[in-house]
Amino acid sequence: MSTTITLGKALNLALHDALANDARVLVYGEDIGRLGGVFRITDGLQKTFGAERVFDTPLAESAIAAIAVGLALKGFRPVAEMQFDAFSYPAFNQITSNLAKYRTKTRGAGNMPVVIRIPYGGNIGAVEHHSESPETYYVHTAGLKVVTPSTPADAYALLTGAIQDPDPVIFLEPKARYWMREELDLPLSALPLDRARVARAGTDATILAYGPTVHVALAAAETAAGEGTSLEVIDLRSLSPLDMETINASVRKTKRAVVVHEAPVFMGLGAEIAARLMHDLFDVLAAPVERVGNATVPYPPARFEKLFLPDVDRVLEAVDRTRAY
């Protein structure tokens, strides 16, 4: 039976079904038990499954990540929450030095079926350390898979796939999209963690986006359509590994590309995508790859974030630059 749910509720249902289907799954983090998390993503799970499987931790992110390593070694499938994006930084050493490298350290003998859930991105009017885009830190780390949904359907299916995966997954949740609604027939099958999707077909240029900027890209495409320009929108879904097959196929068709993300342009994911496109499709591209992101400055106070974040106008200006050639 179909039902209309938010992206946040889709995550909640994915966690519920994972707990129900696999006794090895544990869900934990700061205030995720009785409170249900600051965004209520884990609401009701402790009541259903008990405090031994859904439990609160101290305010100690490094310990949260370290516990995940130990639990995985004991045969569990832990799903740990970092309350906000920048709160994950104290756990960075455990994630990058231990969690990401355990399979290599053990010559393949040790799996790390761990999911680290991180709400990320801006556009919620929050104070500092609550609106950052840490994806490139994790994408740069060998041994981690990094995925991010942009719709309720993908939230459920990607999280299901991440929990089932034998390797550690950084699961980035676009917090500004938690309240996005979609009609779904649940449960959905798990999605592979290495495939992008064509969110909108087009012919004149490709917009590559992920997580919180997919809706910006789609809005830009809708506006452009009214002006006679056909834009294809690719939702990357997986940041590591990148689905270059889907990306290249789209750009080979449109011959122009714009990458959009909330993170700073400097050393952002768009730089890697642009470099790969220039290498793979140099003879196809009709214009340099454009990047739309933020300035290399700390995230601004909430009153200025609308000026800081990518919007439809900035995306369309980038598209115009590619079509000027």
In angstroms, rounded to a whole number, what is the distance separating the alpha carbons of residues 292 and 261? 6
Point out which residues pair with 257 in neighbouring strands: 206
Q: Which residues have a catalytic role annotated?
A: 130
Contact in structure between 36 and 206 (CB atoms under 8 Å): no
Residue 182 contacts residue 176 (beta carbons within 8 Å): no
d(CA 165, CA 46) in angstroms, rounded, equals 23
Spatial CA neighbour of 287 closest among 311, 260, 258, 247: 258
- Going from the C-alpha of 177 to that of each of 87, 137, 149, 158, 208, the distances in angstroms are 19, 22, 9, 15, 18
Angle, CA of 58, 61 and 65, to the nearest 5°: 110
Question: Which is nearest to 69 in space by CA: 110, 31, 39, 30?
Answer: 110
- Determine which helix (DSSP H) or strand (DSSP E) holds 89, and give its type and residue range: none
Classify 165 as helix, strand or coil. Answer: coil
- The pair of structure tokens assigned to 266 is 């400097």
Cα radius of gyration (the chain): 19
Paired residues of 115 in beta bridges? 79, 169
Q: Phi/psi class of residue 324: alpha, beta or left (left: φ > 0; alpha: ψ in -120 to 50)?
A: alpha
User: What is the total residue count of the chain?
Assistant: 325
Cβ neighbours of residue 5 closer than 8 Å, sequence gap 6 or more: 13, 152, 181, 182, 184, 186
Match 């990047």 to its residue by tokens.
291
